Amino acid sequence: NQQDSTSKSLSERKWHEIISLRGYGQVRYNRLLETNDQLRCEQCDKSWGDGGLFIRRLRLVFYGWVNERVYFYVQPDFASSSGSTLNYLQLRDAYVDLGIDKENVFRVRVGQSKVPYGFENAQSSQIRLSIDRADATNSAFVNERDLGVFFYWTPKIVQERFEKINALKLKGTGNYGMMGLGFFNGQGANKADLNKKQHVAGRFTYPFLINNSQFIETGLQAYSGEFTMPSDLLSNGVKTNFLKTYRDERVGASLTVYPQPIGIQAEYNIGKGPQFNTQTDSIEVRNLKGGYITLNAKANIGEDLFYPYVKYHYYDGGKKFEKDARSYLVKEFESGIEWQPNKYLELVVAYTISDRRFEDFVLKNNHQKGNLLRIQAQFNF
């Protein structure tokens, strides 16, 4: 694609040969068979326990190779609220990739983009099987993204494997580097930076090819930085340290046996970060840990694709980008199936059994258990 569109002399290309546009949308309904409407997950899905149909995502992607070594990617999302009103357009990705070499083995990325931390975080929501990402790894960064400078190293053979995994519809991450290294603000996507210190994150992942057919990917990642609690996330009365600034660091491992036809996807991470302490009414640096394991399969029935799965995840730690660095203890089991009648449509139905303790200065002693059916229709264009 890159080769095609840049083979013409660049000055001959029309705008629509340089810039491409695509998009996708997701609509959800979470209220069927719901047993407890106080069971919520702010980060996962704002429509848990509340309301009816919900536009979870509506994204446009403007992207293209402006020349052999320069690629841009601008992805806004329409499902962004501002105050009590929904569906404003707000940035998710906005970056430029500069190839150091002609094959783009070494790239520098500048802008807002996913932080190289974790497999499920890198995997697009358009691709992901389970309805939401796991709290344990997704609590690392809000919307998985931040603003910074990122270096990616992806040898040609690894580039080809990432592409092959994609082409086989095995639900990979695409090319976020065999090795990725990022220096970024650390306050999360679309948030003003509040301290002069940069976060650093690094990730190494390798897609092994076994018997020339089975892909298995293993990865390691870590990040470190200082997170400053923004004042609009602090309840009146909650205690913080003087600078409202806290150590924030993690290390984790990932394993993906791609579903050919049976697969496993698992990650685990430990670390420390700001977390609300109900005993002291204060935000403190505390240890965190958690992960998930998914068993899945891929089945072609006629022209249709089916992906059944079960997932269990666990998290014990804080969420720094929620009210008072809300404290979490999560145990959740989900069983579901994704159906793709064609490449434009997807339907996921999942049954979730959840046990969530989430507490902040206002919401003390808040332990919620319950079950619900979750339905998501997705459309790609």
- Judged by CB under 8 A, the chain residues 168 through 227 that form the site for a copy of itself are 184-185, 187, 189-196, 198
Among residues 8, 33, 70, 299, the one that binds a copy of itself under rule CB under 8 A: 70
293 lines the binding site for a copy of itself (CB under 8 A):
no
Q: CA 307, CA 297: separation in Å to the nearest integer?
A: 5
Out of 232, 242, 279, 280, name the contact with a copy of itself by CB under 8 A: 232
Q: Closest CB to a copy of itself among 157 and 345?
A: 345
Residue type, 151: F
Question: How many residues belong to the site for a copy of itself (CB under 8 A)?
Answer: 72
Segment contacting a copy of itself (CB under 8 A): 166-174, 214-222, 252-260, 372-380?
372-380
For the record, the structure tokens of 329 come out as: 């203890």
Q: Kindly state the smallest distance separating residue 42's Cβ from a copy of itself, in Å.
A: 13
- Please, what is the end-to-end C-alpha distance for the chain in angstroms? 17
d(CA 41, CA 366): 13
Q: How far apart are CA 359 and CA 277, in angstroms?
A: 9
Q: How far is the CB of 230 from a copy of itself (least distance, A)?
A: 7
Residues 6+ apart with CB under 8 A from 360: 235, 238, 276, 322, 323, 324, 325, 326, 327
User: What is the total residue count of the chain?
Assistant: 381
x/- binding map, residues 334-363, to a copy of itself, per CB under 8 A? --------x-xx------------------
For residues 135-164, which are near a copy of itself according to CB under 8 A?
Answer: 147-149
C-beta of residue 248 within 8 angstroms of C-beta of residue 186: yes
Taking the complex as a whole, the smallest distance from the CB of residue 31 to a copy of itself amounts, in Å, to 6
Contacts of a copy of itself in 8-37 (CB under 8 A): 14-16, 18-23, 25, 27, 31
Give the burial string for 127-145 (b: 16+ CB within 10 Å, else e). ebbbbbbbbbbbbbbbbbb
| Range 87-106, binding a copy of itself (CB under 8 A) | 87-91, 94, 96, 98
CB closer to a copy of itself out of 242 and 381: 381
Q: Does 297 sit near a copy of itself (CB under 8 A)?
A: no
Residue by residue, DSSP assigns 137-151 as HHTTSGGGEEEEEEE
Touching a copy of itself, residues 103-122 (CB under 8 A) = 110-112
Contact call for residue 236 and a copy of itself (CB under 8 A): no
Using the minimum distance from each CB to a copy of itself, give the nearer residue, 184 or 328. 184
Nearer to a copy of itself, 113 or 256 (CB): 113
User: Does residue 74 interact with a copy of itself by CB under 8 A?
Assistant: yes
Binding region for a copy of itself (CB under 8 A) out of 44-52, 310-318, 319-327, 348-356: 44-52
AA letter at 240: T
Q: Cα-flanking dihedrals φ and ψ of residue 96, to 5°? A: -125, 135
* Token pair of 235 as six digits: 């309840």
Q: At 362, is the secondary structure helix, strand, or coil?
A: coil
Instruction: Choose among 142, 245, 127: nearest CA to 197.
Output: 245
76 binds a copy of itself (CB under 8 A): yes
Q: Which is nearer to a copy of itself, 96 or 253 (CB)?
A: 96
Q: Which is nearer to a copy of itself, 295 or 377 (CB)?
A: 377
| Cβ pair 298, 265 in contact under 8 A | no
Question: Token match 């357009």: residue?
Answer: 89
The 50-69 contact track toward a copy of itself, x by CB under 8 A, reads xxxxxx--x-x-x-x-xx--
Cα–Cα distance, 73 to 57 (Å, whole number): 18
Which residue's CB is nearer to a copy of itself, number 48 or number 309?
48
